[in-house]
Structure 1
Amino acid sequence: MHFLKKPLTVALAIANLGVATALAQEAEPAKEEKSTGLLEEVTVTATKRETDLMDTPVAITAFSQAQLERAGATNVRDLAGLVPNLDIGYEQDQASPVISMRGVRSTNTSELGDPSVGLHMDGIYSPRPQGAMALMFDVERVEALRGPQGTLFGRNSTVGVVNVISRRPDTESFEANVGVELGSWDNQVMKGVMNLPVSDTFALRASFIQQTRDSYLDGYYDPNQWDRRRLPGYAQNAPDLVGDAQTLIQDRNWWGTKKELVKADGEDFYNNIDQYAFRLAALWEPTEKISWLTSIEKYQDQGAGSINTLDCDKLELAGNSCENIYGPGADQYTVAVNTPGELDLSIESFRSSFRWDFSDEMAFIYNAGYAVQDRSNLVDIDAGVTDWDMEIWFVDTEYASQSHELQLQSTGDGKLQWIAGAFYFKEKNDMDGLFNAHMNDSAFWDQPNRTLESEAVFGQMTYELTEKLFLTAGYRYSKDTKQDVGGRNLSCNRDWGLGEGDAGFPGCYPAWVWADGLDADDYFNQYSADHFANPDIYSVATNNDNKGSWSDSTFRLGLDYDLTDDVMLYAYVADGFKAGGIGDVVVEYLQDPLTAEYATDENGEQIIEQVYQQNYDPERVTTFEIGAKGSFFDGSLNLAATYFLSDYTDMQLAAPESVHDVYAIEQNPDSDNFGEVITNGVVVYNTRNAAESMIQGVEVEFQWAPIENGVFGGYVTWLDTEITSDFETRWNFANRELFEIPDYGLAHSNENPLLYRNLKGNELAASPEFALTINYAHTFELGNGDRIIPFVNVHWEDDSYLSYWNVDKHDFPTPTPEAFSDTREAFTTVDVSIRYVTADDKISAELFGYNVTDEIIPYWASAGDGVVRAPMSVPANYGVRFNYTF
C-alpha cells in the first residue's frame, strides 16, 4: 500500500480535474457539432487502424516531420527528452543506442539480446537496435507508444513501441523540395524530396539526406601506448616529450619513450558524422479497393563511431583530474587514443504493404519486410587510461532478417471492430570479431550462424457496449527460438619467446619480448594492421552450439468511456513477454590456483570441471493503466494524463560478469614482478534475470493555445522504480576502487565473499523521479503574409542512476564512494530557434541553437581503473537551415 499511496493520490487529483472541467463544459449551451478547435488534429495508427490521437486509449506521443526538424531530431536516438519517460543512451562497443522507456531498457545490444522497446519502420518490425540510428527523413510522423504493446505489435514491446512512418507517394500532385543546413563543427546537411504522379493510379516518391560533421571532441592520438600500428605517420613520429608536463599516460609508460600527444583532425575522429540515406517508394492503387505500397531504402554510416569520455567531476572527487590524465586544459570532451575509430554500418531494406478492401466490412493486409545490416567497427576501449591498451573490433557482421504479417480487419461502422493476424519473423546473423587487451591477451569470436525465429497469432477487438462505453480485448500467442550452429570462441596461441612466422611471430604475440632484445613499445608495430583479425593465429577455446525456445500468451483487456464529446477516460490491464536468450558457452578447466597448472587425464587432455551455458529466462510484465484525454476550452487545450503500475517478473539485466576464475603466470599489472601467479576472471557480457521489479508513474502531456498564434506544449512526469525482491549478485561496478582491492583478480573473483551485495530496493537506470518539458511557439504574421516563428524548448530532469547498481545505496570500504558512483545529477537543457516562412510556404529559413546552456549530460556509466566513463551530451551548437519547395 505504501507503494501505491502517493501516485494514486496524484492520479485521482488529475482525474478529478479532468472530470470537473468536462462537467463545466457540459453546463455550457449545447453546440450543434463538435468544435474543430484551435489545435490541429493528429491521426495515429497505434491500434493498427487510423484514429485521432485524442480518441486513442493508449499513451502515445506523435511528431510530424516539421516538429522533428525543429527539435533537431534526425534519428530515434534524438527523441530523448521529447517523449515522456524516454531516455536513450549509447553503447560504443556495438555502435548501438540503448533505449529506455518507463525505466526499462536492455543493455545487451549484441545479437544475443533483445530490446525492451520495439522499433518498427512503417509498421514492420526492425530487430537490431542499430536500426534506430538510421536517419528519419521525409516522414509522415513518428509515434512513440508507451506501455505493453505485445498484442498488436508483438515481440520486444513489453514497455513500448516506436513506429517511424514515412511519407507515402501521392497520385494527386507533383511535389519537390530541397533543404540545406549549416552549423557548428562544419555541420553540413543536404536533403531533397520529389513526388511524381505517373498516372491516376501510380506514383513514385524519392527522397534523400546526407550529413557530415566534424567531431566536437578535443581528440588526440597517443603514441605512448603499446600498439601504434594504425596511427597516422605524423602521430607515430611525434617528438619526445620535454618539459614539466605530466599525465597519467606518461607515468604509466614505463616500457618506452614518452612522446607528445598529437592533435587529431576532427573530420575523421570519434563522434564525427558522415552518413547518408535515400528511399524510393512506389504506390499503386488500381482500384478504390486495392493499394500496394513498396519502398527500398539504404542507410550508410561511414563515420568514426563514438567513444566514451571521462567524467571529470567524479575524477576530482577521487583526488584526480582530467588534466592529470590528458594534460592542461583537458575536460569531459578530451580523449587520447592509439586506435582511430572506424565504423562502416549499412542497412538496406525492402518494405511492402498490400491492402485489399474486399468487402464493405472487411480488409486484407499483408505487410512484409526484408533487411540486411552489415557492420564493421573498431573502438579504443580504454583510451589510454590503463596499461591494458584495449580495443574491440567487429571485423565483419551481417544481420539478415525477414518479416511477414497477415491481417484481417473490420472496416465498417458496426458495434464490433476487430483485427486478427499471423506474424512470422526470421533473422540470421554472421559475425567475426575480437577483443584485444594488448598487455594480456586477445580473444576472437566466429559466429557464422546464429538464428532467431519468431511466430505468433493475434487478435484484438473493440465492442461498443453503449454509445459511450467500449470494451477492448486482445490476445497473442508467441513462440521464439534462438540457436547457434557452429559458433566458436577462440583464444590466442601465445608464444612466450620469439619464433618464425609472420613478422617473426607464430602466434598472436609473444609476452614480454623485451627480454629477447626487442623494444616493448615497438613489437606490435611489426604486425600488419589486420594481424589480429586472422582466425588462424588463434585456437578454439569453446564451441557455442546452443539452442533455446520459449513460448507465451499475452493479453490486453480495457475499457474506454466517452465522458463528453471532448473527453474520454480509459483503463486497461495488459501483459508483455520478452523471450529468453542463449549465450556463449564457457568451459572451466580443472586448475591448481597455486601453480596455475591444468589437470590432465590419462590421455593428456585437460579435465573439464564445469561448462557454463549463459542462457537466461524470459521476462514478463503486467501493467495496469488508467488515463484521460480531453480537448477543452473550445479546442484550445489538449490534455492527456495517465497513471501506470507495472509488475516485472524475471526482468533481464545485463552487465559484464566473471563466470569463473583462471590462474596464470604473468606479469602482475599492479607490480613490476614477473612470473607471479595472478587471478583473472573469465568475463562475459551476461544477461541475468533479476527477480521482481515494480514500476509506477504519472505522465501528463498538454498542448495549449491560450492566445491567437501562440502554442504551449510539453509534459510532466513522475516515475518510481524499485527491485522488490532479493537479487543477490556479485558486484561488477568499479570493484577495485569501491572495495579497495589492489589485486585485479581478487576484485573480480567469484570466490571473494566481500563482493556480493543484495540489490533489493535499488532503482532502475535512467529513471528520474520527476521530469518536465515545456515549449512555446508564437507566429508573428507580417503584412505581406510572411511569418516569423520563434520557438523555445526547456527540458529538466531530476537526478537519476545510470545503472542498476545504485552505488550510494550500499556500503563500501572506500571513504569516497561518490567518486565512483553511477549517479547522474539533475540537468536542464534549452533549445531555441526562429523561423521565417514566406506567405506561399515555398521558402523558409531558420536559425537554431541546441543545448544553449551547454549542459554536460552523461548517458551511460562504466567504471574501473580509477575512472568513470560515459558518452556525453553534444555541447552547445548552432546553425541555420534553408528549405525551398518547387
Structure 2
Amino acid sequence: MIKAIWLAGAATLALWAPAAAAQDTTTAGVAAAAPAQADDAATSDDADQPGDIIVTAQKRSERLQDVPVAISVISGDAIALKGGVNLESAQYLVPTLNFRKSGTAINQSLFLRGVGTSTFSIAGEPSISTVVDGVVYSRAGEAFSDLIDIDRIEVLRGPQGTLFGKNTSAGVINIVTKRPGSDFGGFVEGGYYTNGNEYRVRGAVDVPLGELVKSRITGFYSNYDGNIRNIAKGNTRVNGYEHYGVRGLIVADPTPNLTLTLIADYRKSDDDCCAEVIGTRPTNLTATVLPDIAGDKSRTVNQDLVTSTTEKSWGTSLQADWTLGTQTVTYIGSYREYDNTEVRDGDWLPQAYVGFNQLHDVGPQVSNTFTQEIRLTSPAQQFFSYVLGAYYSRAYTERTFTRNDVVCTAAPTPTVLTPCGTPGTVTTRPSGVANFGSTFKNFALFGQGTVNLTDSLRLIGGIRYTTDQLDVFHQRVTTLAGPGINPSFGPFTGKTTNDNWSGKGGFQYDIVPQSTFYATYARGYKGPAFNVFYNLTATGTNVVEPETADSYEAGLKNTLFDGKLTINVAAYYAKYNNFQANNPDIVAGVLVTRFTNAGRISTRGGELDLLFRPVRDVSISGGVAYTDAHIDQFKVPTNGVTTGVIASGTPLAYAPKWKGSLGADYRLRTGGPVDFTIGAQGSYQSKQISQLDANPAVRAATTIKAYGLVDLTAGIADPTDKFRLLFQVKNLFDTSFASAITSGGPGGSYRYLIPRDADRYYGVTARIGF
C-alpha cells in the first residue's frame, strides 16, 4: 500500500498536476466556491484563495473553514476535466466517498465513511441524501445522472439529521449549479475519448432578460459505445450510453430585498449498462460458452439479452430569498418526475439450455416527488445566530416487473450443453408479473443555533422533529412458477409511521485566528422501510425498523500563509443501530438480496484534507482517510436461522481501510497568445469487500483488490480562458480492477462489473467561450 501511495504521489508531484488546469479558481479536488461568474469571464490575479471557499453546508453561506463539519468541496470543473460525468467520478477525489456500481443504474449507491445502503426494494431509501440546489432527490438513481454545469459539490461526512433530515445517517452530497452572469456570454465544449468512442458536446449561455433578470441555459449530449464486448450480439460493445438534456435557470431581483430563482431541467438516458462479466470458471457445462474468464481482466460477455436502463427525468423548483430587516426568509418548492426501465439478463448465457434456465427481467418504474421547505435565517455575526425551518415531502413510486423464464428438460440428461428446442427436449415458459409501489410522506421542524460566547468560543446546538409515514402495496400474478418466480401473491398493503428526534451539540474554539478546533455530537436518522420487491412473500412483509446513528467528531481546521494553505483534519466514531442492509438470500432458487435490519455496526477513523496554492498558477490538493467500519452485533432473524448471521468484527462492504488522493496543477503564463497547462491526478485505495456475506469464503472471493490510478493532462489556453484545448491520459498505468464482485453466477461462478476507468484511454476536449 505504501509503495502504491508513493508511486501515485511521486508521479503527481513531479508534474505539478491535477485534473483541473484551466481556471485560476479551480483546483484538482476543491472548488473556490465563491459565487460563480460567467464562463467567458477572465479570472483575476486576486482570485479566491483556499481559505476563502464559501459553502452552504449549514443552509447559509459561510467560509468552509468556519463550518464545524468535515466537508470536502469539489469543483464541477475538476470532475469534468478529469473526464468524469457523474458522482462515480467524484469517488477518486474524495477519500471517504465510495461508489457501488450495480447491474442496472437504478440500483447503484454511495458510501461515506464505510456506511451506505444498497437495496433493490422500492420501499427503501439511501442513507446518503443528495441535494441539488436545495432540492432533495428522493430516488438514489436520479442523483447519479450527468453532472452538467456544476459549480461545486459539497460532501458532508457523518450524520446530518438536524438540518437535512432523514436519510442522512451517513452524510449528504450537496450539489450547487452555476449561476447566470450579468452579461451575455457562454461557452461551447466538445470532447472525444477512446476505448469505446465517446463523444461529448455541452454548452451554456447567459442571457440577461432585463436589468433585474438574468438567465442561463445549459444543454448537453454524450454518446459512448462501451467497454465490454458481447459475443451473442456480434461482438458489439455494451456498457455504453446515450445521454442528453437541457437545464434552464432564471434569477430575478424584483426588489432590493427579494430574489427569485426558477430552475427547470429535463434529461433522457439510454444505457446498455451494466453487463456483468463472468470472472471465475463455472463448475458445470456453461463454462464452454462463457468467454474470457480472467477475473477483473475479463472484457467479454455472451448474453442474448442486453442488460440496459432507460431513464427520463424532469423537474422544476422555485426559490425565494426575502430579506426582512436583519433576517432572511427562504422558501424552496419543487416537483420532480423520474421514470426508469431496467432490462436485465439474469442467467448470463446466450440462450437457454437443458438444466440451465433462461431468466430475463423487465421492470418499468415511475416516480414523482413534491417538496416544500421554508427557513428563517439570522445574521451570522451576532451573539445568537440561528436557522429555523419546516420541511415536507411526498415521494411516490410504482413499478411493474415482469420475469420470463425458459426451462427445458431431456431424458436421458445430456452430458453436453444442449440448447432448448433441440429435438427430444421439453420446454416450459414460467412467467410472472408483479405490480408494487410505495409512498413516503415526511414532515419535519428543525432549528440550529450558535451562541458566540466570545470572539473565540462558540457553542452549537440543534434539534429536528421528524414524522414519517410509509405506505406500500404489492401483487404478483404468476402464470407458471419456476426458477426465480414464486407463485402468485397478494394483494398486500402495508403501512408504518414513525416519529424521531434528531439533534446536534458541540463547540468551536479558535486556538489562534488561523486554527479552529471543534467537537460535536450528532444524531442521525433513516426512516422505516419495507422489503418490497418482485418475489415478495408473506414471510417478508415485516417493517424494516428505522436506522439511527450516534456520531462523535472532533476536527481541526487550519488556514495558513494568508489563506494560501488549508489543512483540515477530523477524527470520528459513529455507532449505528438497526442498520438497514441487503443480505444475500436464495429465493425461488435464485440469489437475491433481502433488505433487513442487520443489527449494530460502527465506524471510526481519521481524515485529512489539504489544499495549497502557493502562487497564482500552482495549486496542490489531496486527502487521506483511514476507515474502520465493521459489524458489531448482527441480528439473528426471527426464525432463529443463524446461517446468514455475519460474525462480529467483519468489515463492511465498500469500506477500504485506506484511501487517498493527491493532485496538483501548474499553468505557465507565457505573456503571448497562449498559456500552457500540465497535470496529473493520483488516487489509491486498499482492498475492500464487495459482498457482505456470512460465508468467509464468499467474502474473500468478492474482495476487490487494492489499486491506484494516475491520470495525466496537458493543455493550452488563451490568457483569458476564451479558448482551451486539453489532452488527457486516463489510468496511465493501465491498472485493471472491478467496481463490484458478486456471487450467484452460472455454476458457482462470480460476476464482475468492470468500470470504464479500469483501462487506459485517451481524450481531448476543446472549449470556446464567448
TM superposition score normalised by structure 1: 0.74
Give distance in 2, aligned partners of 1:721 and 1:552: 25
Residue 380 of structure 1 pairs with residue 345 of structure 2: yes
Give distance in 2, aligned partners of 1:416 and 1:95: 44
Q: Map of 1:288-687 to 2, 5 A cutoff?
A: 288-312=256-280, 315=281, 325-326=290-291, 331-359=297-325, 361-384=326-349, 387-394=356-363, 396-411=364-379, 413-439=381-407, 441-447=430-436, 449-485=437-473, 487-493=474-480, 540-584=488-532, 612-658=540-586, 680=588, 685-687=593-595
Q: Give a deviation string over 1:391-411, Cα, whole Å, max 9, x none.
A: 2211x3110110110111113
Give distance in 2, aligned partners of 1:146 and 1:766: 15
Give distance in 2, aligned partners of 1:481 and 1:329: 48
After superposition, the Cα gap between the structure-2 partners of 1:682 and 1:489, relative to the gap in structure 1 and judged at 3 Å, is farther
> Does structure 2 conserve the Cα–Cα contact (< 8 Å) formed by 1:388 and 1:437?
yes
After superposition, the Cα gap between the structure-2 partners of 1:583 and 1:854, relative to the gap in structure 1 and judged at 3 Å, is same
Q: Give a deviation string over 1:681-732, Cα, whole Å, max 9, x none.
A: 69764211122112101000101245673322111111111211244469xx
Tell me which of 837, 846, 850 is aligned to 2:726.
Answer: 846
Kindly state the Cα deviation for residue 322 of structure 1 after the two structures are TM-superposed: 7.8
2:665 alignment partner in structure 1: 777
Give distance in 2, aligned partners of 1:649 and 1:588: 25
Give distance in 1, aligned partners of 2:401 and 2:536: 22
After superposition, the Cα gap between the structure-2 partners of 1:550 and 1:329, relative to the gap in structure 1 and judged at 3 Å, is closer
After superposition, the Cα gap between the structure-2 partners of 1:819 and 1:472, relative to the gap in structure 1 and judged at 3 Å, is closer
After superposition, the Cα gap between the structure-2 partners of 1:649 and 1:819, relative to the gap in structure 1 and judged at 3 Å, is closer
> Does structure 2 conserve the Cα–Cα contact (< 8 Å) formed by 1:292 and 1:354?
yes
1:878 alignment partner in structure 2: 762
Kindly state the Cα deviation for residue 342 of structure 1 after the two structures are TM-superposed: 3.8
What SS does structure 1 have at the residue aligned with 2:732? coil
Structure 1 stretch 629-638 or stretch 845-854: which is displaced more?
A: 629-638
Residue 44 of structure 1 pairs with residue 72 of structure 2: no
Letter in 2 for 1:777: D
Structure 1 stretch 650-659 or stretch 375-384: which is displaced more?
A: 650-659
Letter in 2 for 1:793: Q
2:623 alignment partner in structure 1: 715
Kindly state the Cα deviation for residue 58 of structure 1 after the two structures are TM-superposed: 1.1
What SS does structure 1 have at the residue aligned with 2:78? helix
2:125 alignment partner in structure 1: 114
Bigger Rg over Cα: 1
Structure 1 stretch 694-703 or stretch 755-764: which is displaced more?
A: 755-764
Kindly state the Cα deviation for residue 143 of structure 1 after the two structures are TM-superposed: 1.0
Letter in 1 for 2:236: D
After superposition, the Cα gap between the structure-2 partners of 1:714 and 1:405, relative to the gap in structure 1 and judged at 3 Å, is same
Give distance in 1, aligned partners of 2:486 and 2:648: 42
What SS does structure 2 have at the residue aligned with 1:78? helix
Residue 265 of structure 1 pairs with residue 276 of structure 2: no
After superposition, the Cα gap between the structure-2 partners of 1:279 and 1:38, relative to the gap in structure 1 and judged at 3 Å, is closer
TM superposition score normalised by structure 2: 0.85
What SS does structure 1 have at the residue aligned with 2:633? coil
Kindly state the Cα deviation for residue 836 of structure 1 after the two structures are TM-superposed: 1.2
Tell me which of 58, 74, 77 is aligned to 2:69.
Answer: 58
Kindly state the Cα deviation for residue 347 of structure 1 after the two structures are TM-superposed: 0.7
Kindly state the Cα deviation for residue 139 of structure 1 after the two structures are TM-superposed: 1.7
> Does structure 1 conserve the Cα–Cα contact (< 8 Å) formed by 2:583 and 2:692?
no
Q: Give a deviation string over 1:40-82, Cα, whole Å, max 9, x none.
A: 7211000100011122111111122321212222112221121
What SS does structure 2 have at the residue aligned with 1:69? helix
Give distance in 1, aligned partners of 2:239 and 2:612: 38
1:764 alignment partner in structure 2: 652
RCO higher in structure (CA 8 A, sep ≥6): 2
Kindly state the Cα deviation for residue 328 of structure 1 after the two structures are TM-superposed: 9.1
After superposition, the Cα gap between the structure-2 partners of 1:724 and 1:404, relative to the gap in structure 1 and judged at 3 Å, is same
Kindly state the Cα deviation for residue 341 of structure 1 after the two structures are TM-superposed: 3.4
Tell me which of 179, 190, 200 is aligned to 1:189.
Answer: 200
Letter in 2 for 1:350: T
Tell me which of 704, 711, 715 is aligned to 1:824.
Answer: 704
After superposition, the Cα gap between the structure-2 partners of 1:159 and 1:204, relative to the gap in structure 1 and judged at 3 Å, is same
Unaligned runs of 5+ in 1: 1-34, 222-261, 495-508, 512-531, 590-609, 660-679, 731-749, 809-816
Q: What is the RMSD of the two structures over their aligned residues, measured on CA atoms?
A: 2.9
Letter in 1 for 2:301: V
Unaligned runs of 5+ in 2: 1-45, 408-428
Structure 1 stretch 38-47 or stretch 288-297: which is displaced more?
A: 38-47
After superposition, the Cα gap between the structure-2 partners of 1:193 and 1:849, relative to the gap in structure 1 and judged at 3 Å, is same
After superposition, the Cα gap between the structure-2 partners of 1:323 and 1:857, relative to the gap in structure 1 and judged at 3 Å, is farther
Kindly state the Cα deviation for residue 39 of structure 1 after the two structures are TM-superposed: 4.0
> Does structure 2 conserve the Cα–Cα contact (< 8 Å) formed by 1:584 and 1:614?
no
Kindly state the Cα deviation for residue 186 of structure 1 after the two structures are TM-superposed: 1.6
> Does structure 1 conserve the Cα–Cα contact (< 8 Å) formed by 2:584 and 2:594?
yes
**Sequence identity (%):** 21
Letter in 2 for 1:473: G
What SS does structure 1 have at the residue aligned with 2:108? strand
After superposition, the Cα gap between the structure-2 partners of 1:319 and 1:823, relative to the gap in structure 1 and judged at 3 Å, is farther
> Does structure 2 conserve the Cα–Cα contact (< 8 Å) formed by 1:298 and 1:347?
yes
Give distance in 1, aligned partners of 2:287 and 2:681: 32
> Does structure 1 conserve the Cα–Cα contact (< 8 Å) formed by 2:531 and 2:596?
no
What SS does structure 1 have at the residue aligned with 2:324? coil
Kindly state the Cα deviation for residue 755 of structure 1 after the two structures are TM-superposed: 3.9
Give distance in 1, aligned partners of 2:536 and 2:103: 29
Kindly state the Cα deviation for residue 782 of structure 1 after the two structures are TM-superposed: 1.2
> Does structure 1 conserve the Cα–Cα contact (< 8 Å) formed by 2:711 and 2:732?
yes
Give distance in 1, aligned partners of 2:349 and 2:699: 20
Letter in 1 for 2:597: N
1:812 alignment partner in structure 2: none
Q: Map of 1:86-105 to 2, 5 A cutoff?
A: 86-93=97-104, 95-105=106-116
Letter in 2 for 1:87: N
Kindly state the Cα deviation for residue 578 of structure 1 after the two structures are TM-superposed: 0.5
What SS does structure 1 have at the residue aligned with 2:85? coil
Letter in 1 for 2:256: E
After superposition, the Cα gap between the structure-2 partners of 1:682 and 1:301, relative to the gap in structure 1 and judged at 3 Å, is closer
Letter in 1 for 2:377: Q
Structure 1 stretch 109-118 or stretch 554-563: which is displaced more?
A: 109-118
What SS does structure 2 have at the residue aligned with 1:779? strand
Kindly state the Cα deviation for residue 165 of structure 1 after the two structures are TM-superposed: 0.9
Give distance in 1, aligned partners of 2:294 and 2:521: 55
If each structure's helix is expressed as a fraction of its own residues, which one has the higher value? 1
2:226 alignment partner in structure 1: 215
Give distance in 1, aligned partners of 2:110 and 2:75: 21
Kindly state the Cα deviation for residue 758 of structure 1 after the two structures are TM-superposed: 4.4
Kindly state the Cα deviation for residue 761 of structure 1 after the two structures are TM-superposed: 1.7
1:497 alignment partner in structure 2: none
Give distance in 2, aligned partners of 1:728 and 1:412: 49
Give distance in 2, aligned partners of 1:799 and 1:729: 30
After superposition, the Cα gap between the structure-2 partners of 1:625 and 1:329, relative to the gap in structure 1 and judged at 3 Å, is closer
What SS does structure 2 have at the residue aligned with 1:158? coil
What SS does structure 1 have at the residue aligned with 2:84? coil
Question: What count of residue pairs does the alignment treat as equivalent?
Answer: 694
Q: Give a deviation string over 1:345-404, Cα, whole Å, max 9, x none.
A: 011111111111021x2111111111001111211123118812222211x311011011
> Does structure 2 conserve the Cα–Cα contact (< 8 Å) formed by 1:400 and 1:427?
yes
